[in-house]
């Protein structure tokens, strides 16, 4: 039997723009580690907390408890930093949407592999029965077990994760199993968001793999077509599966996230009276655009 591993939070102090990072369902901040380190290297304060009732190792709770915990984390950052953005992965992206609805003053919103429906090509045919099973004795007995490809197109990393799943309850790409109550609460969260998306006006970046085996591109398209953001960018990846923060294009995900966050700052014009910070990624993009303009002149 697997020995439980204790998850830990990530907090990397940087400038006055903090990014609250929400991991996937029943998982840990480990799956956001690469992105957090990249953002911190670009100057951001990166915070990936453990949420009671949501994160691995905590007693399961209703989705309202998840959201309240996320709000507390946001408010704690807002007391210390001039700007706070919200970033979420998978169900964490759905939670990020709900948090942006509760805290519309957030600087920006980053949705990675957004999951409102488990409708990817690798989801077993009986997945729709699990909501029904929640109301049976299976509720306390059954756990959905993650299987290959574990959200990874990268075969070498997939083999590594397969070994890790045998040793621990979670890995850098998520948990080895998810309980029925947790899945049920995730469905409740998604249902509530479908009527709230139009009210969210926060600057928004959506990054999704076209071959996502867990949540199909329909999830991203649903939000992109309805969200009220004036500044909205959608990026499609073609060499990754669901866990885009760990897979083949994780560097693209990290660079585009950092770029979007700084562009959001620049668009708002530094309304706190401070000069907006230009990241290395944004500086490179501006130089490329300038060079292209000269070529066309």
For residue 157, being part of any structural domain is answered with no
One-character DSSP codes across 189-238: HHHHHTTTGGG--SEEEEEEETT-SSS-HHHHHHHHTT---SSEEEEEES
Average pLDDT of every residue of the chain: 83
Residue 159 lies in a domain: no
Structural domain containing residue 30: 10-121+182-296
Report yes or no on 25 lying in a domain: yes
pTM of the entire predicted model: 0.83
Q: What is the pLDDT of residue 271?
A: 46
DSSP state letters, 128-190: GHHHHHTTSGGGGT-EEEP-TTTT-S-HHHHHHHHHHHHH-SEETTEESEEEHHHHHHHHHHH
Is 63 a member of any domain?
Answer: yes
Per the document, the length of the chain is: 297
Total structural domains within the chain: 1
Residue 146 lies in a domain: no
Residue 214 resides in a domain = yes
Q: Indicate which CATH number applies to the domain containing 94.
A: 3.40.50.1820
pLDDT at position 73 is: 98
pLDDT tens for residues 79-111?
999 999 999 999 999 999 999 999 999 999 999
Q: Does residue 229 lie in a domain region?
A: yes
Which residues in the chain land under pLDDT 70? Answer: 1-5, 124-150, 161-177, 269-297
Tell me, yes or no, whether 162 lies in a domain: no
């Amino acid at each position: 039997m697997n020995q439980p591993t204790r998850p830990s939070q990530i907090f990397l102090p940087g400038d006055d723009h903090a990014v609250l990072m929400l991991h996937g369902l029943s998982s840990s901040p480990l799956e956001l580690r690469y992105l957090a380190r990249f953002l911190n290297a670009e100057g951001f304060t990166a915070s990936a907390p453990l949420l009671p009732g949501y994160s691995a190792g905590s007693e399961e709770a209703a989705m309202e408890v998840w959201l309240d915990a996320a709000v507390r984390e946001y408010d704690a950052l807002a007391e210390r930093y001039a700007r706070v953005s919200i970033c979420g992965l998978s169900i964490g992206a759905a939670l990020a949407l709900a948090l942006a609805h509760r805290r519309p003053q957030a600087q920006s919103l980053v949705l990675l592999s957004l999951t409102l429906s488990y409708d990817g090509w690798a989801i077993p045919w009986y997945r729709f029965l699990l909501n029904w099973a929640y109301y049976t004795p299976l509720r306390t007995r059954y756990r959905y077990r993650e299987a290959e490809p574990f959200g990874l197109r990268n075969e070498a990393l997939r083999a590594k994760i397969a070994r890790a799943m045998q040793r621990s309850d979670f890995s850098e790409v998520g948990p080895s199993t998810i309980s029925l109550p947790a899945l049920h609460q995730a469905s409740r969260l998604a249902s509530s968001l479908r009527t709230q998306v139009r009210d969210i006006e926060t600057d928004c970046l959506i990054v999704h793999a076209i071959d996502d085996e867990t949540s199909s591109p329909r999830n991203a398209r649903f939000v992109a077509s309805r969200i009220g953001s004036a500044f909205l960018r959608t990026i499609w990846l073609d060499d990754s599966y669901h866990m885009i923060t760990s897979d083949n294009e994780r560097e693209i995900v990290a660079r585009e996230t950092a770029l979007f966050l700084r562009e959001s700052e620049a668009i708002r014009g530094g309304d706190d009276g401070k000069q907006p910070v230009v990241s290395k990624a944004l500086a490179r993009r501006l130089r490329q655009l300038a060079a292209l303009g000269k070529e066309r002149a």
